[in-house]
Amino acid sequence: MSDYLQLLERFDKLKKTAPDRWLACCPAHSDNNPSLSIKDTGDRLLLHCFSGCTFRDIGDSIGALPSQFFAGGYDRREFDKKHRVPYQDIVIVLRSEMWVLIGIANHLKQGKPLADADFSRLVEAGRRVEQAWRASNAR
């Protein structure tokens, strides 16, 4: 396993979605449902948090330097390029957030009051859906 691929072990709820792609909980924010898209390009790991966390925040959260995500270092010009998020990863996040929204809607339909934690999760779901929409339109 390449040195940079060993970083995958540091992510919670890591799930392989394709031969070179994973979803995981983002370590840079309070995340219970995977919102971090990870892609192996063959010489680097690309990260995209649908809640908007930066590459540096994610790396800092797992105790990794930016250069550790690249095989043999990195070229700053390449590092600054905008990378596309695969549609498959966007759909997986949207599906997960859909179930959160359905659960909260059902709770409210039954006339139950919404706890502060549930309201916070509802707001987080809205942020994730917004980030997914932006990622899909950045193509």
User: Looking at the structure, do residues 126 and 67 belong to the same domain, yes or no?
Assistant: no
**Backbone torsion region of residue 95, taken as left when φ is above 0, otherwise alpha when ψ lies between -120 and 50, otherwise beta:** alpha
Q: Strands (DSSP E) along the chain, which ranges? A: 15-18, 21-24, 36-40, 45-49
Structural domain of residue 9, as residue ranges?
A: 3-79
The percent of residues in the chain predicted with pLDDT above 90, rounded, is: 34
Domain stops at, among 52, 79, 106: 79
pLDDT value, residue 132 = 80
Please give the mean pLDDT across all residues of the chain. 83
Same domain flag for 25 and 63: yes
Does 93 share its domain with 55? no
101 shares its domain with 70: no
Within this chain, do residues 96 and 37 fall inside the same structural domain, yes or no?
Answer: no
The answer on 73 and 9 residing in a single domain is yes
pLDDT digits (tens, 9 = 90+) for 90-133: 888 888 889 889 999 999 999 999 999 888 888 888 888 888 87
- 18 vs 86: CA distance, rounded Å: 10
Looking at the structure, do residues 64 and 104 belong to the same domain, yes or no?
no
- Tell me 80's DSSP state: T
Same domain, 52 and 26: yes
Last residue of a domain, one of 79, 99, 115: 79
- Count of the separate structural domains present in the chain: 2
